[in-house]
A and B are shown apart, each in its own frame.
Chain A
Amino acid sequence: MPLAVLILGAAALCAPTLRAQGTAAPVATATAKPKAAKPHAAPDAAASATPVKTFGNKNAPITMEVFSDYQCPSCANFYEQTLKPLLGPDGYVAAGKVYLVHRDFPLEMHPYSAIAARWANAAAKIGRFQDVDAALWDNQGSWSADGNIEKFVAAALSPADFKRVQALLKPCSAVAPKSKADRSAPAADLGCSVDPYIVQDIGLGYSVPVQATPTFVIIYKGQKYPASSGFVTYPILKQFFDSLLSQ
């Protein structure tokens, strides 16, 4: 009897909220088409180190910064299940509600993640980040096994663009920068023009602080919300965005 009273009491307390909230759509219905329309990217690398790794309108009310590691399985899952619908034609990025920022946070434990980040940043420098980003996530299982990232980057770009990216990475001979468990500054190859981008992202990650990948930070009307870690489905993320937009 007291249990029944408790449940009824809690239900009564929450009923208006639940009615207003409705129920979220199941994951399956939210899965995006593989080749979704891509919102514009700003290819102006000279202006700032980060805008080339962004999706959507910079003036969107919500900014979402995602710290990820290209070799992390949860990050790939997050990209496939959550970010793809967000970036799709019916997603909130295309609708101008969300500005998505990619941040590199390669973890020490993954042997190829920092190299993948180099490829992505080189592509970002020529304004082709989105193609390479998608190729890296879509084929993570393949290149993670043998480290042959180049094959998938080449498939994602035109031959001319691929040559430009290759040329950018040619001077990169030292080990690519990775985040450290002790949060010490990662070493960057001074001759490698993309390493500063990765080092900058890792530094930003330390300040969050990023403790695991994926981690994302949401900013709405200049207010930064606490970082969230782990895989979150698109319907639940969308529900959070809706609650922000209805404030």
Chain B
Amino acid sequence: MTTTTRGSIGWVLLLVGRLALAGIFLFAAYAKMKPQAATGWSLGTIKTSLSMFAMQVDSYQLLTPRLVSPAAHLLPPFELFLGVWLLSEVLLRYSAMVTTLLMGLFFATQVRTYRMGLEINCGCFGPGERLGPKTLLHDGSFLALAIAVTVGAFVINRRKRAVSVDPVSASAISTAQHAE
């Protein structure tokens, strides 16, 4: 396999991983903010949905009620922002790093809750999904994906910088240049 082919595959994998992560975050934000009953979208229904999400955050028994509400009201808009940021590809290394940190936080919280034996809803994609091995599996996979995208983003960036120092290698990693 040539360096160019490897570079192309790497770029495609990074693109797919980035889009998948963006999709996960955008869907997670949508699922938490959408009207939870058969009502239309309005500021009132979004507020109600976020208050419902606050109950799910509270059931983790990790934060005091004083902190639960701000966390529950900040997280879905932040997920929305992160999804858009990942889609935009702007400063990809940093968006991927923030994604990894957030996914790591989610995963650690879920492992702790599962080990405590709390039988609660995950709240990951809105209400309904019970926290269990299935949830740990999908969130663990998302964490692995976020780590892979972060590593990929740093590797491609390093190659790009190497090109600017060593123009001879330019043809070998031309695809990497497209990525950034």
Identify the A interface with B (CB < 8 A). 2-3, 6, 9-11, 13-14, 17-18, 20-27, 30, 74, 211-213, 220, 223-233, 235-237, 239-240, 242-244, 246-247
Q: Contacts A3-B98, A10-B81, A212-B130; is A243 near B48 (CB within 8 Å)?
A: yes
Identify the B interface with A (CB < 8 A). 36-39, 42, 44-45, 47-48, 50-52, 54-56, 58-59, 61, 64-66, 68-70, 73-74, 77-78, 81-82, 85, 91, 94-95, 98, 118-121, 126-128, 130
CB of B73 within 8 A of CB of A229, answer: no
Q: How far is the CA of A26 from the CA of B37 in the complex (A)?
A: 29
Q: For A239, what are the chain B residues with a Cβ–Cβ distance below 8 Å? A: 51, 54, 69
A111–chain B nearest beta-carbon distance, Å: 19
Q: For A228, what are the chain B residues with a Cβ–Cβ distance below 8 Å? A: 52, 55-56, 59, 121, 127
Main secondary structure of the interface of B (DSSP, over half): helix
B164–chain A nearest beta-carbon distance, Å: 21
Q: Contacts A10-B78, A23-B69; is A229 near B58 (CB within 8 Å)?
A: no
Q: How far is the CA of A116 from the CA of B61 in the complex (A)?
A: 28
CB of A14 within 8 A of CB of B55, answer: no
B47: contacting residue among A17, A212, A213, A232, CB under 8 A: A17
> Which of B42, B44, B47, B98 is most buried by chain A, counting CB atoms within 10 A of its CB?
B47
Q: For B81, what are the chain A residues with a Cβ–Cβ distance below 8 Å? A: 6, 9-10, 13
B128: contacting residue among A6, A10, A220, A226, CB under 8 A: A226
Q: For A24, what are the chain B residues with a Cβ–Cβ distance below 8 Å? A: 65-66, 68-69
Q: For A213, what are the chain B residues with a Cβ–Cβ distance below 8 Å? A: 119
Q: For B78, what are the chain A residues with a Cβ–Cβ distance below 8 Å? A: 6, 10, 13-14
CB of B48 within 8 A of CB of A14, answer: no
Q: For B61, what are the chain A residues with a Cβ–Cβ distance below 8 Å? A: 231
Q: Contacts A212-B130, A226-B36, A229-B119; is A18 near B77 (CB within 8 Å)?
A: no
Provide 16 A-B residue pairs closer than 8 Å at the C-beta atoms, listed in order of the A residue. A6-B78, A6-B85, A13-B78, A21-B69, A225-B127, A227-B127, A229-B120, A229-B121, A230-B118, A230-B119, A231-B118, A233-B68, A240-B52, A243-B50, A243-B51, A244-B48
Q: How far is the CA of A22 from the CA of B51 in the complex (A)?
A: 12
CB of B48 within 8 A of CB of A230, answer: no
Q: How far is the CA of A237 from the CA of B68 in the complex (A)?
A: 11
